[in-house]
Structure 1
Amino acid sequence: MIKYFLSALIIFAVSCTNDKKVPDDVIPPAKMEKIMWQLLQSDDFVGIYVGRDSSLDLTKERLIRYRQIFDLNKTTREAFQRSYKFYTAHPDISKVMFDSIGARATRERTEEFKPRDTTLQKKKDSIPVTN
């Protein structure tokens, strides 16, 4: 009977651990969000600008830029993949991160397509012109 009680107690204690805690070998959410944003931007750049040059291999160009992003953020591809697997297995943590990336993309897209012509926004001269 005591064995069952101890087993139940251990299971209860393990189930009550903080699931939102990120392990030490996983990239923290804020840094992971930054890296993912940079990777998305890099993919867009390669697809739009590098894709115009048929002499370049898009996959190779993407990998070069990914390596630059990992170096810039002082991490490795392996650490990123391990962290990505962790976050996809924990949607309660990753949802906030992915929502934030989506909101940032929407803000930047909105800003990009704002009218830039300031002549339409200028006030007309208050002195009437008479001919």
Structure 2
Amino acid sequence: MHPRYLREAIADTPRVAVYGTLKQGFNNAHWLNDATLLGRDATPALTLYDIGPYPGAKRQRSKGITIEVYRINAHHLAQLDRLEDYRIDAPTEGEYDRQQIDTCFGLAWVYLYNPSVAGKTAIYEGGWHTPNISNVQQQR
């Protein structure tokens, strides 16, 4: 049985939006193998930052970041929380915080990068590893 906070989170929002290594074709996609892909969307609510081996998203306006939205259950959410170092009792202390964003499929959980992105490359449109070079800007 999953903890109450996971059951409540899934009852409220049974979807997750992913933008990086959890997307199909990337190295962490297997975490969502038995989840249901609802489809793709582009959200202007996020800006991506190239952290190196993976991206991090901040809640900042963009021209549209490509996401995949999945229907998930409490087991998926628990696994993703561990993978993303989300800490329910101290959400700003882990590597990622889990928050909700609007998608064309309804509200979805998304993992937002907590550390500073100073000096990291910002991606304002498209996706990680496939940005349109005119939409990439070095942060200072």
Pairwise same-fold verdict (TM > 0.5)? no
Flag the structure with larger Rg: 1
The structure whose residues are more often helix, as a share, is 1
The structure whose residues are more often strand, as a share, is 2
Q: Compute the TM-score of the two structures, normalised by the length of structure 2.
A: 0.22
Q: Compute the TM-score of the two structures, normalised by the length of structure 1.
A: 0.22
